[in-house]
Structure 1
Amino acid sequence: MHIIRAESFICRAPIDTPVVNAFGAMTERVAVFLRLTDADGVSGWGEIWCNFPTIGAEHRARLFDTFIAPRLLGQHIDNPAAWWAETDRALHLWGLQAGEPGAFSAALAGADLALHDLAARRAGLPLWRWFGGPGGHGGPVPAYASGLNPDTQALAQVEAARAAGHRAFKIKIGFGEQRDIATLRPVFAARQAGERVMVDINQGWDLRSAARMVGVLGEFPLTWIEEPLAADRPAWEWAQVAGASAAPLAAGENLRGALEFHQALAGNHLGFVQPDCCKWGGASATLPVARAVVGSGRAYCPHFLGGGIGQLASLHLLAAVRGPGLLEIDANPNPLRSLLAGPVLRVADGMVAVPEAPGLGIEPDAASFGRYVVARTAREA
């Protein structure tokens, strides 16, 4: 792949109802999409994680434009994973010096996804096959509706997601015991046979609160309890909470680096592990982590709550790795997701079909989301 053009698209879409979690709220939907084009005119697409805080979108796009695009333009890249590893090493000191290794990691992740999409399109393969997925036709993968707001919105959103084909639902809690219980009881009273319910605290508890609240939540047959503690709390705190909980714990969206994931697996306190391929690692680093997760007997559940490019990349990664994991699909309105992923991302009886067309399975059209683009940069070799 001889890369001759690199583009970034910063997108902002207004929403009527904020997406609420324990540390704040998203009052708009944002995305940074990337497009890489080679000398043969083939393009690949990626996405940079930037959903919180939303003001970070412009900064992360500029990091890509300034530090990463020059490492792509004019280069002949045959092995995206080798390119990611080399570039990750080069960016490491810059991230440390700037005090923001996460922003550099996310910008690099988006570029890596675009390279893999480009390579898969050139090979005429869907991404999941390019990633080394199982032979034969790729069967559907299980999915769940995510981002469900607390209070009375939760039941209404569960009912809407059920009508849209979902059979598993994840609800935001962490707003105080009384409010959390009042959110969950109506949901479980209306739960139908075979449905699964998860909760997400978004790192909102300290150790004492988490150890107590997981016991309180034992009233409900939860599939998992997500991020009851801050991601950087020591392993012994996570182990203590896991030991007090009837439901398995889930985390991973805020882990960065293969070492952190392998330490989490060695700690044996997570039942569900959730790397976000747009936040760290792209496909090159996420794939080996995901395979290690499944190989250890845990479930790989890709985290994602952004635009359509990252959503489809997450689907292909899960389809390649498989195991007992579920695909996260944000149930809140987001045109930056639906305009791109909508044509192929359809839920039926809790399952999502895996695209068979080359690359992501769609040919993104920048004009389709053009009205939401607030800034666009193009660089050429």
Structure 2
Amino acid sequence: MKRIDEIEVQVGPLTVGRVEVHVLRCPIATPVRTSFGTMHDRPAVLVSVTDSDGCTGWGEIWSNFPACGAEHRAAIVSTVLAPMLTGCRVAHPTEIFRDLTEATAVLALQSGEPGPFAQAIAGVDLALWDLRARRAGLPLWKLLGGSSDNIPAYASGLNPVGSAELVAEKLERGYEAFKLKVGFGVERDVNNLKILREIIGPNRRLMVDANQAWALPQALEIVPLLAPFNLGWLEEPLRCDRPLSEWQTLADSSPVPLAGGENIAGHDEFDAAIASRAFAVIQPDAAKWGGISGCLRVIRSTQVAALTYCPHYLGGGVGLLASAHLLAATGGDGMLEIDSNPNPLRTLLHGPLDTLVNGRVSLGNAPGIGIEPNLTELREHIREAAASVDAVR
């Protein structure tokens, strides 16, 4: 098995001309609910890196929580990272990822904000990889050494209310796999699973995401109740900061494979999670930690350990496309997570991901991630969405 960095297409160095960050927020009529909080709008923090030749690459920073978080992460880019990058010669994005992480490590600790710093660096890294692929004239999946642009996807973000109607709609649109949010009370969770399993039938894939809802004793009581639904995985049943020994205890007794990774940051932490064998599915979020540079090593370690890599993602279309290209490049039996909830900042930017055939999407051969965000059009759609939501309310 070749290392990904051994088969990646080589591209010459570039010089960063400017780094810009763009905060977008789109009102929504129906809030997105998790076991720990609710999103009343959909944010997206887009990062653009333009080289001295005028070529631009795009990335996205995870910014769902807290509600004020998008503007804060954007400020980290504009006030800390952009001055470091402007005029910088970039031989390879992995070097910049390493250098930015090391240069801001003490500042992140001093401010108590390693998460926001890591997320901001991840968005910059995604933009640099997109830029690298565009300079090569290749789709990102091919630049990274992938052999096919065709990947499976699943419908995610199914809320405890309205999930049946949404699943029926997604079935019509070609989806073959689904993930329900749980952690809203055992009776409610089980009833929702019964309904969804009846709708999708016995053979389509169904997963659940608890969003860190339970302590170990509670999880041990609940997981046997999930067994009858033939679930592909149970995602984040425990808090992400619980000892790996607790995850191992749960995995040993759970009839459902465990999944996690969106809230793991750092190679050492991922290595420990993989080595624990508690997780059957590893889910790094490239817009939350690591970008492509950090996640490539995690993915390789996951696959060497015979575990499944599934990219986690719940944001706008730029980060979703980057996640799709990363999955296509690295292969394996994972699926792309596509949020089912209304979000114009996803649907206006996700290009070919709107078309599924038998649960799969094809990314195409356009350079980079395949789309060029039009910020003027996006802001106009946001104004229209705001007017529509105000009218409903």
Cα separation, 1, equivalents of 2:53 and 2:130:
15
Pick from 292, 296, 304 the counterpart of residue 313 of structure 2.
304
Question: 1:133 is matched by which residue type in structure 2?
Answer: G
Moved more, 345-354 or 319-328: 345-354
Which residue is 2:265 aligned to? 256
Q: Does 1:351 align with 2:364?
A: no
How many equivalent pairs are there? 370
> CA-to-partner distance for each residue in 1:310-341, whole Å, 9 max, x for gaps?
00000000001110100000011100011111
CA contact (8 A) 2:352 2:362 kept: no
CA contact (8 A) 1:200 1:227 kept: yes
Q: Which structure is higher in RCO with an 8 Å CA cutoff and minimum separation 6?
A: 1
Q: What secondary structure sits across from 2:33 in the alignment?
A: strand
Cα separation, 1, equivalents of 2:283 and 2:205:
17
Deviation at 1:362, TM superposition (A): 1.6
Cα separation, 2, equivalents of 1:192 and 1:358:
39
Pick from 196, 216, 229 the counterpart of residue 187 of structure 1.
196
Cα separation, 1, equivalents of 2:352 and 2:247:
40
Which residue is 2:325 aligned to? 316
CA contact (8 A) 2:126 2:292 kept: yes
CA contact (8 A) 1:9 1:373 kept: no
Distance 1:288 1:188, change over 3 A: same
Pick from 103, 116, 120 the counterpart of residue 90 of structure 1.
103
| TM value normalised by structure 2 | 0.92
Cα separation, 2, equivalents of 1:252 and 1:306:
16
Cα separation, 2, equivalents of 1:167 and 1:193:
11
Moved more, 249-258 or 236-245: 236-245
Cα separation, 1, equivalents of 2:29 and 2:163:
16
Which residue is 1:326 aligned to? 335
Q: What secondary structure sits across from 1:320 in the alignment?
A: helix
Pick from 11, 18, 25 the counterpart of residue 5 of structure 1.
18
Cα separation, 2, equivalents of 1:181 and 1:31:
33
Unaligned runs of 5+ in 1: 375-381
Deviation at 1:210, TM superposition (A): 0.7
Deviation at 1:344, TM superposition (A): 4.8
Q: What secondary structure sits across from 1:179 in the alignment?
A: helix
Deviation at 1:219, TM superposition (A): 2.0
Cα separation, 1, equivalents of 2:279 and 2:344:
33
Cα separation, 1, equivalents of 2:48 and 2:67:
21
Which residue is 2:378 aligned to? 369
Root mean square deviation of aligned Cα: 1.3
Cα separation, 2, equivalents of 1:322 and 1:367:
35
Cα separation, 2, equivalents of 1:79 and 1:190:
48
Q: What secondary structure sits across from 1:121 in the alignment?
A: helix
Pick from 220, 234, 253 the counterpart of residue 211 of structure 1.
220
Q: Does 1:233 align with 2:246?
A: no
Which residue is 1:42 aligned to? 55
Percent identical:
48
Which residue is 1:335 aligned to? 344
Q: What secondary structure sits across from 1:4 in the alignment?
A: strand
Q: What secondary structure sits across from 2:156 in the alignment?
A: strand
Which residue is 1:72 aligned to? 85
